[in-house]
Structure 1
Amino acid sequence: MIRVAIVGTGNISPSHISSYQAFGERCEIVALCDIAPEKAEAVKRQHGLDGAKVYSSHADLLDAGGVDLVSVCTPPATHEPISVDFLEAGVNVLCEKPMAPSLAACDAILRAEEGGGAVFSSIAQNRYRDDVTRLKAAVDSGLAGPVAHVQVDSAWWRGLSYYDLWWRGTWEQEGGGCTLNHAVHHVDLLLWLLGAPQSVTAVLTNAGHENAEVEDLSVAVLSYDRAIATLTSSAVHHGEKQHMVVQGRDASINLKGEAIAEVSQPNGFPAPGGNRELVEELESLARGVEPLAYTGHKGQVDDVLTAIEAGRRPAIDGHDGRRTIELITAIYKAGIERRAIDLPVPPDDPYYEAGTLMERAPRFFEKSASVTEQAGPISVSGAQEENR
C-alpha cells in the first residue's frame, strides 16, 4: 500500500485526492499539508479522509515520515524547495504544473531525484485524453505526410478577481502569466508531438487584467527545420475554444478527429472531393486507438503508482517538465527582448536563472489586491483541460 500525502490543499488538490481515491486498493492518503491548516482540515472532512493527519508545513510532514509519495499542489514558486526536500529524503513526488518557474529550479529537482533514488513526475494530465492519444497516433503514423504547420490555441478566460489570489499575478510568486500557467498544457502536447523547435519569436501583453503584473496574452512562432508552429496563450478568450490542428503535406488532422486531405488539379488548385481514401485511412486509424482506461489526473496518477510498484520511470518525468519550461523560458525571453531566441537555452544564459525574469520582465500593471482565499470551484466553459 503506497502512502500518499497532499501538500497544498487549494483548488487543484481535489483532482489529486479523487484520483488517489479511485485506486484505494493500491494507495492511501495518510497526510494533508497546508500553511493554513484549517483549510486542510476542511478538505479532510470534505473528502472523508478520516485517517489523514494534518500538517502546517512540509518540513513537519517530512520529519514525521511514513510517506511514500507526495503530491505537490502549491504555488509555482514553492515547487522546487518542496520537491527537492522530499526527493533528497527518498520520497517520490508528483508535482503540479508548471514543474518550476525556471530552468535552474528544474535542474535542482532533477539532481535531487537522481541523488535521492526516488522518482519525480511533472503533471501533464492532458496526455491522458482520448482525443490527444488519437492525434498522437495519427501524427506518428506519418499518413498526413511531413508536418508543415501546427496551430495551437491555448484559449482560456479569467475574470479580474482571478488575479486577486495572493500568489497569482506576480512574476515572483506565479513565475509568469498565461504562457507559463495556462498554456503549459499545450506546450507539453506540442513538444510531445513535434519535439523542440530550433528558435522562437514572441510578443507579450496584458490586454484585460489591470490588477496583474504578468501577461494575459502572448503569441509565439516556433521555427522547425521545414515547419512552423504558432502558439496563442490567453486568459482573455471568451468561450475558451481551444484548438490544435496539424497540417501535413498530404492531410490535416485535429483534436476533434477531423481529417482533410486535398489533392491537386493540374493547375495546382484543389480538386473537388479531395483524397477520400486517405481521409478514410486516418479515420480508421483513429477508430482503432484503444480508449484509455483512465483519463486526466487519474490516468497520470495510475501511471505514477504503477511506476513506484514496478520500480520503473513514470511515463511523464521531470525531463518532460523541464523541456516545457525551456520552451516557455525562450518565449518569455523572445517577447521581452523582441528578437528570435535559439534553443536549447544554455546554463550560462541569464534567463536560465529565475532572478533574470523577475528583473527584466515587464510589469504590465501593479497587483492591486491580495486575498488568501477565493470561493468557488475550478470551472471551464468549452475546454476539456483542468487548470488551477
Structure 2
Amino acid sequence: MINVAIIGAGAIAPAHIKAYQLFDDRCKIVAICDIFPEKAEKMAANFNLDVEIYSDYKEMLKISDIHLVSVCTPPYTHAELAIACLYTGKHVVVEKPMASSLEECDAMNLAQKSSGKILSIISQNRFTNPMMKLKSVLDTKLMGPIVHTQVDSFWWRGHCYYDLWWRGTWEKEGGGCTLNHAVHHIDIFHWMNGMPSEVTAVATNTSHDNAEVEDLSVAICRYPNGSLAQITSSVVHHGEEQQLIFQGKNARVSVPWKVKASKSKPNGFPEKDEELEAKLHEVYEQVNDLEFEGHTAQIEDVLSAIKGKRKVLVDGIEGRKTVELITAIYQSASSGQTVKLPLNENSPLYTRDGVLNNAVHFYEKKKHIENFTENSITLGSKYE
C-alpha cells in the first residue's frame, strides 16, 4: 500500500484526493498539511478521511511511512516543498506550474536525480482523450511539416480573483495568466510541437488593477525551419474557449477535433483532399479511449511508476520546458526584445530575484484576503 500525504488544502487539493480515493486498493491518504490547519481538518471531514493533520510540513515529513506527497500549494512554495520531500525519500507530485523560476526547476530536478525518487508535474490536460488522440495524429506526420500553430488559452477571472493573499504578485504567484492558466496549453504545445528557437512577446493588464501581474499576453514563437506559432494567454476572455490548431503543409487538425486538408488545383487554388482527411480521421478514431482522464489518470500514472510499471509521462524535465517557454515570454515582454532559446542561468529571469527585479509590475496589489468562502473552481475546457 502506497501511503500518501497532501500538502495544501486549497481549491485544487480535492482533485488529488478524489483521484487517490479511486485507487484505494493501491494507496491510502494518511496526512494533510496546511498552514491553516482548520482548512486541512475541514477537507479531511468533507472526504471522510482518517488522517493526521499538520501545520508544519517538516514535522509531517518525519513520518517514515509516507511514500508519496502531493504538493498543492502556491507556486512560490513548490521548490522548497518538493526538494524537502525528495531528500526525505518521498515520491512527489507537484501541481502546475512546476516552480516560480528556472533556477528552482533545476534544483528540483537535481534533487530528483540525487534521491532517485519520482517527480511528476501535474499536466492533467495531457491525460485526456482528445489530446492523446491529437498527439497520435501528429505523430503520423501525415500532415507534413507543421508551418503554423495557434494556441488559444482563453480563461476569464473576475476582479476579486486576485484578492486572495498569494495571487497577483510576482513574489508569490510567480506570474499571471501566462504562468498559472496558459501553463496547461503551453505544456501541450511543446509536447506536441517541440520547443521553438526564439520568442517575441507582449503582455498587459487590462482588467485587474489589484494585481502586479499580466492578465493578457501574446507571444510569437519561431522554429529553426521557419514555422511560426502564436500563443495567447488570457483571463479576460468570456466563454473560456480554448483550442490548439496545427497547420501542416498537407492538412490542419485541432483540439477540439477538426480536420481539414487541401490540395492544389492547376491554378493554385484549393480543393478538398478527402482521402487525406479520411486517413487522419481514421487515425484519430482508432486511438483507444483512456481508462481514466485528467488528474485521475495522472495520479494513476504516478502510482504505476512507483510500482515500476512505467516511467511517468510528465517528469521534471518536461515540467522545466514549460517554465522555460513561459520565462521566455516574460523576458521578451519585459525587455521588448526577442529571446533566444534555450534559457540558462544567463537569463535575467533565471532566478526568483531576477523575476522580481525585471518583470513588469502593472499595478500594486490592493487587497489581501486569507480564504474565499466559495471554493469551487473551473479546470478548463473538455476539448470536445
Q: Which residue number corresponds to residue 280 of structure 1?
A: 278
**Within 1, Cα distance between the matches of 2:380 and 2:305?**
33
Note the C-alpha offset of 1:66: 1.8
Letter in 2 for 1:109: M
**Within 2, Cα distance between the matches of 1:346 and 1:29?**
38
Q: Which residue number corresponds to residue 154 of structure 2?
A: 155
Q: Which residue number corresponds to residue 230 of structure 1?
A: 230
Alignment of 1:176 with 2:166, yes or no, is: no
Question: TM-score, normalised on structure 2?
Answer: 0.97
**Within 2, Cα distance between the matches of 1:383 and 1:13?**
19
Task: Identify the range of structure 1 (88-97 vs 303-312) with the bigger mean alpha-carbon deviation.
Answer: 303-312
Percent of aligned positions that are identical: 47
Letter in 2 for 1:56: S
Distance 1:7 1:237, change over 3 A: same
**Within 1, Cα distance between the matches of 2:375 and 2:369?**
16
**Within 2, Cα distance between the matches of 1:262 and 1:126?**
29
Task: Identify the range of structure 1 (351-360 vs 189-198) with the bigger mean alpha-carbon deviation.
Answer: 351-360
Contact 2:11 2:377 in 1 (8 A): no
Distance 1:382 1:333, change over 3 A: closer
Pick aligned residue for 1:358 from 356, 359, 363: 356
Letter in 2 for 1:107: D
Contact 1:153 1:244 in 2 (8 A): yes
Note the C-alpha offset of 1:312: 5.0
Letter in 2 for 1:138: V
Note the C-alpha offset of 1:348: 2.6
Q: Which residue number corresponds to residue 17 of structure 1?
A: 17
Question: Structure 2: which 5+ runs fail to align?
Answer: none
Pick aligned residue for 1:346 from 344, 350, 365: 344
Task: Identify the range of structure 1 (122-131 vs 369-378) with the bigger mean alpha-carbon deviation.
Answer: 369-378
- 1:300-341 deviations in whole A, cap 9, x for unaligned? 000000000117531210000001101111110000011110
Q: How many residues align?
A: 382
Question: Structure 1: which 5+ runs fail to align?
Answer: none
**Within 2, Cα distance between the matches of 1:62 and 1:122?**
20
Distance 1:322 1:144, change over 3 A: same
**Within 1, Cα distance between the matches of 2:103 and 2:309?**
27
Task: Identify the range of structure 1 (112-121 vs 180-189) with the bigger mean alpha-carbon deviation.
Answer: 112-121
Q: Which residue number corresponds to residue 203 of structure 1?
A: 202
Q: Which residue number corresponds to residue 89 of structure 1?
A: 88
Letter in 2 for 1:59: K
Note the C-alpha offset of 1:376: 2.1
**Within 2, Cα distance between the matches of 1:315 and 1:361?**
31
Q: Which residue number corresponds to residue 33 of structure 1?
A: 33
Pick aligned residue for 1:369 from 362, 367, 375: 367
- Report the secondary structure of 1:6's partner residue: strand
Letter in 1 for 2:240: E
- 1:144-194 deviations in whole A, cap 9, x for unaligned? 111010100000000011100000000000000000000000111011011
- Report the secondary structure of 1:261's partner residue: strand
Contact 1:240 1:380 in 2 (8 A): no
Contact 1:244 1:254 in 2 (8 A): yes
**Within 2, Cα distance between the matches of 1:362 and 1:114?**
34
- Report the secondary structure of 1:44's partner residue: helix
- Report the secondary structure of 2:96's partner residue: coil
Q: Which residue number corresponds to residue 139 of structure 2?
A: 140
Contact 1:257 1:283 in 2 (8 A): no
- Report the secondary structure of 1:244's partner residue: strand
**Within 1, Cα distance between the matches of 2:26 and 2:379?**
34
**Within 1, Cα distance between the matches of 2:63 and 2:318?**
31
Q: Which residue number corresponds to residue 302 of structure 2?
A: 304
Question: TM-score, normalised on structure 1?
Answer: 0.96
Alignment of 1:185 with 2:155, yes or no, is: no
- 1:185-244 deviations in whole A, cap 9, x for unaligned? 011101101111000000000011011000000000010122111000000000000111
- 1:230-288 deviations in whole A, cap 9, x for unaligned? 000000000000111110111100112211011212111113xx011111111111110
**Within 1, Cα distance between the matches of 2:62 and 2:118?**
19
Letter in 2 for 1:245: I
